[in-house]
Amino acid sequence: MRRLYKAGEIGEVTYAEGEYNHPMAPSDRLRISPGMNHWRAHIPSTYYCTHALAPLVYITETMPVKVNALSIACRSVDDLTVRVADPGSVILCRMDNGAVFRIFGLLLPGHSNWYRVHGSRGAMEITRGSGYFGPGQVRVWREKWDLRPGEEAERAYTPDWPEHGDLARQAGHGGGDFWTGFHFANAVRTGIPPFLDVYRGVAMSSVGILAWKSALEDGRPLEVPDFRDETARKPYETDDWSPWPEHARPGQPPPSILGHVAPSPEGVALARKVWAEMGYRE
């Protein structure tokens, strides 16, 4: 999709959607988060946003400048876990070119790992369907009045990696585990920073934090600082606003828009059983 975008196939981005919604069976969730104070039990619904946002940033080379968000509190989703944070959220990002990105996740029923980009002369998306990544196709479409000579109104195809596909296909997370190490090694070897450098990484992570502040104020827009500018990042040097239980004190945020909620007795009972099977006890 980045290649298509850079080739000008859909024009300049105007709107995009990224979804990383990853529900899991309660027992599986408990196995990867042993302990009542495990970070997965307390992470706000907006914090895990980079899986949905980073591909859109990479495709379009735009950066978020403002965010607002709404959290989705549905306690029944977590009845059989000890998670005390909300299971879902929607984040809106205003990008530096004026486009709007919608980011959705996190644990609500209905798995979705999906991306769509609308441009000034067309659109493209990963096709939806069953399976972790759906059918694995990219769909590109345009209105008939935006067609240039030789262009199709719509097409869908199965893409492949531009290089090292044989190695990427053997790695986890759809090849992501391979490419993380590959690009890190290239940066060390060549001295050339990767596209997802520390500034982009911090900016995208800060979207999750600022989005949680916004959600706790029912969607108030907040600006994303330019972390490349020392003056812009200076006010955040001592910012220790945190939802984690070990940082609890007056003025710190709750992990849910409902406040500080308690896990259900059924969730605690299942957690104790699963953790005991793992050999973990508190």
Query: Which portions of the chain are predicted below pLDDT 70?
Result: none
Same domain, residue pair 128 and 222: yes
Residues 42 and 15 in one domain: yes
Q: Which domain holds residue 185?
A: 163-193
* Residues 34 and 167 placed together within one structural domain of the fold: no
Residue 168 to residue 172: CA distance in whole angstroms? 8
Do residues 100 and 155 both lie within one domain?
yes
The answer on 176 and 77 residing in a single domain is: no
For Cα atoms 68, 74, 80, give the angle at the middle one, nearest 5 degrees. Answer: 135
**Residue 206's domain is classified under what CATH number?**
3.30.360.10
Residues 186 and 80 in one domain: no
C-alpha distances in Å from residue 198, one per residue of 141, 193, 201, 225: 34, 9, 5, 14
19 and 152 co-located in one domain: yes
Chain centroid to CA 241: how far? 21
Helix (H, G, I), strand (E, B) or coil at 72: strand
Residues 177 and 118 in one domain: no
183 shares a domain with 229:
no
- Domain boundary among the residues 193, 209, 241 is at 193
Are the C-beta atoms of 48 and 208 separated by less than 8 Å?
yes
**Residue 242, SS3?**
coil
167 and 89 inside one domain: no
User: Whole-prediction pTM value?
Assistant: 0.94
* Tokens found for residue 193: 């920073």
- Residue at which a domain ends, from 193, 215, 247: 193
Confidence at residue 173, expressed as pLDDT on a 0 to 100 scale? 85
Number of domains in the chain: 2
The pLDDT tens digits of the residues spanning 222-232 come to: 999 999 999 99
Indicate whether 201 and 95 sit together in one domain. Answer: yes
- Same domain, residue pair 244 and 257: yes
